Structure 1
Amino acid sequence: MDHGGHGTMTDLPPFTFGRGLEFAGGGDPVFLVGCVLALALYGWGVVRLRRRGDSWPVGRVVAFAAGVLTIAAVMCTALNDYGMVMFSVHMVQHMVISMVSPILILLGAPVTLTLRALPTAARGRKGPRELLVALLHSRYMKVISHPAFTIPLFIASLYGLYFSPLFDFLMGSRAGHIVMMTHFLAVGLIFFWPIMGVDPGPNRPGYIIRMLELFAGMPFHAFFGIALMMASEPMVTTFLHPPASLGIDPLDDQTAAGGIAWAFSEIPSVIVLVALLFQWYMSEQRQARRKDRAADRDGDAELAAYNAYLASLDARGRG
């Protein structure tokens, strides 16, 4: 099977979706278009800022590009082929697209860049920028960014999908597979968005609360991985019959998938925790500088008042 730029995978014979729809291979074109479009729009925003003399941190550009490229790596290459027949490879795709890619994308602050790059509409009118601001402050965004929504959604996306017939149903067609992977990405973005706190949003708790939100969801993620590793039989039917040429046992492959899910519950947590601690440190530094400037102003005012008082005493003495 030719994979258009990725060589011929002679070890992986042609295979079909559950409903007999042939999988073309070589990665998913929908995600490829999405990745190219995301990079192009982000680049347009950065160029627009630079042309008018505004700066944009290089680190944010690198983080966003890395986030998009991680999506491309798991969805737009031959890895996507193996993810259709091997539970372990599918789990790598799931973990990357739901936990690694969202963190990197959010560190790139795409919403902040959009707000700065879009022009302000004329008085009395609403342009794209004004509509985005209204959306960010809407009741809808308050609901979907609240921990009471994000944490259950994050957990349900694991247990409700893999431990029900829904997973096999979605894996049975190309459209279902795209919907499922898009869902994983969206859930990751929604879960980490209020925690990362780089872009503006309706729910911005303190740093301690953000850390608690982070660690509230991770144990369930680890338990999911353990459940897969401890299972005595395959949990989903999609991966029951892998190509014979791969020489893998479905149950062993599922155990490996569980180990991957368990390991990924630790790695992103460390990345986010480091980012939160750095943000907290920078916030404290900014507050300290503001207090110092305020103290300097107050000190100057007190000194000026004291000098004025001495001058008035001197004037009285001369009078």
Structure 2
Amino acid sequence: MRIVLILLAALPAAALAHVPEPGPAVPSPWAWDLAPWLVALLALSAIGYAVGLWRLWSNAGAGRGVALTQAAAFGVGWLSLAAALVSPLDTWGGLLFSAHMVQHEVLMVVAAPLMVIGRPLATWTWALSPAQRRVVGRWFQARGWSALWGTLTDPLVAWALHALALWGWHIPAAFDAALQHEWLHILQHLSFFGTALFFWWSVLGHDPRGRYGPGHSTAYLFTTMLHTGALGALLSLAPTPWYAPYIPLSSALGFDPAQDQQLGGLVMWVPAGLAYVIAALWVLGRMLTRVRA
């Protein structure tokens, strides 16, 4: 009888020993990222642009200085930026590699070029008072800042910095660290978006010194399409997943980790590559229009 009682007492422990361990806790994929500092920066950029545009058009007339199409481009670019950073796409990006790639491409090939087309620096300047504009103008014309800005917006430098950010952050150790540390994740997105802004600024005709023409811009767009496409192809054709943190998360959601990565690589390879082709055609189209005029 004692033996039977001992065996019965041991049954719960034995049963618990055979219960499979629960999978990783998966946050709600529909959560919005409403970090105060992020919302404040987005709101400040939108309000500054709207006030600057109103003042500019009040003085020069609607559509002067910044065309209606340019203002609309900035608006769509700003909405794309907000969607990438605040909407549930950001949460999905922490769960699926493919969603993370969509987020990155929205930052680099949608939000960045559209906001550059909207002439944000000139418009934001108009949001300041005349005295503040003079101070900012003197600061921008200072030798040190002028040299730094000229270097960062040089097409070759901007191209190289953007390529370095793309390839460097996709090294598995760097990408995994960004997923595990929020400050590195913020730095990753900032480097993608920041270098994309300089790249698009340099290739879309913002060259006051006239050092480069449409041919140079087309070449930089074409080579960017090639190296980003190569990275996308490597991700798409890899038989095993590169980024360990996504393996349990994508599996918990019912996705195959390798297929999730392949889909993410395909996003970088095809749709993003098409964006560079469209931009190159737009640059060449503007050149032909000027020649005919």
TM-score category (smaller protein): 0.7 to 0.9
- Closer, same or farther in 2 for the Cα pair 1:220/1:53, shift >3 Å? closer
Extract unaligned runs of 5+ from structure 2: 1-23
**Residue identity in the other structure for 2:32:** G
- Does the Cα contact within 8 Å between 1:194 and 1:203 map onto a contact in 2? no
TM-score by length of 1: 0.74
**Residue identity in the other structure for 1:71:** L
2:286 matches 1:276: no
CA separation in 2, counterparts of 1:211 and 1:271?
10
Q: Which residue of 2 aligns with 1:64?
A: 74
CA separation in 1, counterparts of 2:68 and 2:143?
27
2:97 matches 1:87: yes
CA separation in 1, counterparts of 2:254 and 2:31?
20
Q: Which residue of 1 aligns with 2:237?
A: 230
How many residues are matched? 266
- Closer, same or farther in 2 for the Cα pair 1:80/1:129, shift >3 Å? same
Q: Secondary structure at the match of 2:246?
A: coil
CA separation in 1, counterparts of 2:163 and 2:239?
23
Whose Rg is larger? Answer: 1
Q: What are the Cα deviations for residues 235-293 of structure 1, in whole angstroms up to 9, with x where unaligned?
A: 112212115552101111001011011013322213312431343245336xx4xxxxx
**Residue identity in the other structure for 1:236:** Y
Moved more, 214-223 or 109-118: 109-118
What's the offset of the Cα at 1:135?
A: 7.4
Alignment of 1:243-258 (within 5 A): 244-258=251-265
What's the offset of the Cα at 1:223?
A: 0.3
2:111 matches 1:101: yes
- Does the Cα contact within 8 Å between 2:26 and 2:249 map onto a contact in 1? no
What's the offset of the Cα at 1:187?
A: 1.2
Q: Give the helix-richer structure, 1 or 2.
A: 2
The share of aligned pairs that are identical, in percent, is 25
- Does the Cα contact within 8 Å between 1:111 and 1:200 map onto a contact in 2? no
**Residue identity in the other structure for 1:186:** G
CA separation in 2, counterparts of 1:277 and 1:154?
22
- Does the Cα contact within 8 Å between 1:28 and 1:75 map onto a contact in 2? no
CA separation in 2, counterparts of 1:149 and 1:282?
28
Q: Which residue of 1 aligns with 2:42?
A: 35
Extract unaligned runs of 5+ from structure 1: 1-12, 17-21, 289-319
2:189 matches 1:181: yes
2:175 matches 1:167: yes
CA separation in 2, counterparts of 1:236 and 1:28?
27
